[in-house]
């Protein structure tokens, strides 16, 4: 499973949606994921890829990790996975 598919699967599960409902353009807000849902998703992503995501809920816009859409999240995870390899 690609990074993109796995991330979408995690986000869809969090949002209680089908993976087909989650597009790369979707924002977490669109999907109904709140602040607790976000930290839970990040935790699931960290566990799935065995990475550490630099995210602080107090300054989401200043974290190195861009959560503005599914596409930016996937790009961020791609980068973290590549750095780990």
Partner 1 sequence: MKRVVITGAGTINALGHNVQDTWDAMKEGRSGIGPLEFRDVERLSIRIGGQVHGFETEGLFNRQQMALYDRFTQFALQAARQAVAQSGLEFSGELAAKSGVILGTSGGGMQTLDENYRTVYEDGKNRVHPFVVPKLMNNAAASHVSMEFNLKGPSFTVATACASSNHAMSQAFQMVRSGMAPVMVSGGSESMLCFGGVKAWEGLRVMSKDGCRPFSANRNGMVQGEGAGVFVFEEYEHAKARGAEILAEVAGFAMSSDASDIVMPSKQGAARAIKGALTDGQINPEDVGYINAHGTGTAANDKTECAAVADVFGIHADRLMISSTKSMHGHLIGGTGAVELLACIMALREGVIAPTINYEEPDPECALDVVPNEAREAKVDVVLSNAFAFGGLNAVIALKKAA
Q: Which residues bind partner 1 (CB under 8 A)?
A: 35-36, 39, 42-43, 52, 55-59, 62
Q: Report the candidate in 81, 71, 72, 74 with the shortest Cα–Cα distance to residue 49.
A: 81
CB of 55 to partner 1, least distance (A): 6
CB of 37 to partner 1, least distance (A): 12
Contact partners, residue 68, CB within 8 Å, separation at least 6: 27
21 in Cβ contact with 12 (< 8 Å)? yes
CB of 19 to partner 1, least distance (A): 25
For partner 1, the closer of residues 19 and 68 by Cβ is: 68
């Amino acid at each position: 499973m690609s990074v993109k598919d796995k991330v979408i699967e995690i986000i869809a599960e969090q949002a209680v949606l089908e993976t087909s409902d989650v597009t790369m353009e979707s924002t977490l807000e669109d999907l109904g994921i709140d602040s607790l849902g976000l930290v839970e998703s990040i935790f699931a992503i960290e566990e799935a890829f065995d990475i550490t995501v630099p995210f602080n809920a107090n300054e989401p816009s200043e974290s190195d990790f861009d959560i503005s859409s599914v596409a930016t999240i996937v790009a961020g995870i791609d980068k973290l996975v590549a750095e780990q390899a």
